[in-house]
Amino acid sequence: MTSNVEHAGPLAGASPARAWQVAGWSVTPRAVEALRVGFPGAAVAGVCLVVAPLLAVVGSALGIDIYHAKGAAFVAGMVAHPDRMNLAIQLALAAMVLMVFAVAGLATMISASRPGWGRTAGVVTVVGLCGPISFESTYWGAWHLLGSGAQRAAAAHMIDQSQIIPRTIMNVSGPALVVGFLLLAIGAARAGVLRRPQAVFLGLTCVVPAGFISGHLVIAVIAFAACAVATVPLGVGLLRRT
């Protein structure tokens, strides 16, 4: 199979002839070896690169027409569809936790030849992912307050307060998520972990916050789907070589 490393920015010191074609992506043995001996390991990273974005797509899609940027409207949506929202929250929480390990794996692979890009992108993106984890936990707490009118008002107030900028330190997560995924995409392309077209798809994940801020979750669904296009084949390739 013809190597495409020259289009992906091969890792420093790695010969294009030694590049591994991982499900169509150009990945050098050096990057894979770095992940095998580094955190979180090739097997864990492979699973998370596959599962995390897919769970995020499903979880976000389930919340369409329920989630609203304003607490009162969001709570009303929960009351109308409590079971669907419960499942959406559970899947979204699981997706974001797994995404942390997926990002760590990508950062480790990037750091094999571009340590500055890998470490910076990894730290910033993980900070960004702490936001969705925090907000989904708030929604989970609000979900338990759907009984009386007073409880629903309290739930709406809790959601509104958690999302007021800059009421909580977690609001830095939005900009961090945007910058983090852009840095990951650029670093992955420069390090040869992803070819440039796939790196572009990874970079599109940065628009996820826009879906939640605007209340239009379809934007987040599309962004997570783009993430899956970039990471799922890479994760499958890693698992095949684990």
- 179-201 pLDDT, tens digit each: 999 999 999 999 989 989 999 99
114 burial level (CB within 10 Å; 0-12, 13-18, 19+): buried
Q: Where are the domains of the chain?
A: 41-240
The CA distance from 61 to 163, in Å, is 21
Give the percent of the chain with pLDDT over 90.
Answer: 66
Of 15-29, 132-146, 159-173, least confident by mean pLDDT is: 15-29
Q: What's the confidence (pLDDT) of residue 165? A: 65
Q: What's the confidence (pLDDT) of residue 192? A: 87
Q: What's the confidence (pLDDT) of residue 35? A: 78
- Whole-model pTM: value is 0.84
17 CB neighbour count, 10 Å cutoff? 7
pLDDT above 80: residue 163: no
Of 18-22, 26-30, 79-83, 210-214, least confident by mean pLDDT is: 18-22
Distance of CA 60 to the CA centre of its chain: 12
- 117-127 pLDDT, tens digit each: 999 999 999 99
Largest CA distance in the chain: 67
Over residues 149-177, mean pLDDT: 85
Give the mean pLDDT of the chain.
86
Q: Helix H segments across 63-148?
A: 71-80, 82-111, 115-143
